[in-house]
Amino acid sequence: MRQGLSEDLIARVLGAAPKYTLAELEEKYPPRELADGVMVTRFAPSPTGFMHLGNLYSGLIDYKLAQQSNGVFMLRIEDTDTKREIKEAVGIVIDSLAKFGITNDNEGSDYGPYYQSQRKDIYHSVVADLLRRGLAYPCFLTQEEMDEIRANQSAAGFATGIYGEFARYRDITEEDIVKRLDNGETPSIRLYSMGDPSKRIFFKDFVRGSISVPENNEDIVLIKSTDRLPTYHFAHLCDDHFMRITHVVRGEEYFGTVALHIQMFRMMGWQLPNYIHTSTLDKIDEETGKQRKMSKRKDQ
């Protein structure tokens, strides 16, 4: 088994010692007592664009599934993409849902906070566990280096991404980590993927039935170096588990990330939510004349 980092080094890599143990988080956010068939859903928009019909479509499905099963409907704001955040977007989302009678069950719930930017301690505590078990590692690649890797991969006909031999810091030693930290470098935290794309993962989609996808082998970023907030992939893992979401409704464009998400849930030993992939709402682009998915940035 691959050796993980020491507690002192984990604290240095993250900027502080993790606030919780996993056991403490399990106690803080316990499993819900649900009758058979009850659904806990979430609408989780990112405030990097404005509300459109596609968002409303997704939120309405989440709301109706919870309502019809006497379940719980959560509104979660996924605001970790600080570079592209639009100040007015959250207010527009809340007002838009209210106009269509879509109300959430956040108030009085013990599973918040409901803004991802306020859940940093949870993410750091979970990633500390992965670092401790050797399932994640600090990566010191610069943006320029990553751009060069992807350009070389494209030129050679390889899949682009940070994986295998292209993951330069995948097996970095503790000594080298300390040297770079002492030099003032701030790493991102990457997944140490053991996936093999020649093998397949099988899962049940609650609309489309049994589906298989290739395993994920990319060492995706879990915690960003810039603000030490999580990426979407890692935040959704932690939040869906500790909010005890039972059913995740999302567009079919997320099929490409299912293998990654299943992989991470299994690495944590957590129960996988039930995935429901819906067809996208498309339109004819006025500029190109071609069909495309509705966009939160173009189609307000």
Active site residues per annotation: 296
- Contact assessment for residue 127 and residue 135, using Cβ atoms and an 8 Å cutoff: no
CA distance 108 to 203: 34
| Residues facing 275 on adjacent strands | 205, 248
Give the containing element (helix H, strand E) for 200: strand 200-205
Q: Which residues contact 15 (CB under 8 A, 6 or more apart)?
A: 228
Half-sphere exposure of 261 (CA within 13 A, CB side): 22
- Judged by DSSP in three states, 221 sits in strand
DSSP 245-279: --EEEEEGGGGGGHHHHHHHHHHHTPPPPEEEEEP
Neighbours of 104 (CB within 10 A): 22
Convert 2-25 to b/e letters by CB count within 10 Å (16 or more is b): eebbeeebbebbbeeebebebeeb
Residue owning tokens 């006909």: 157
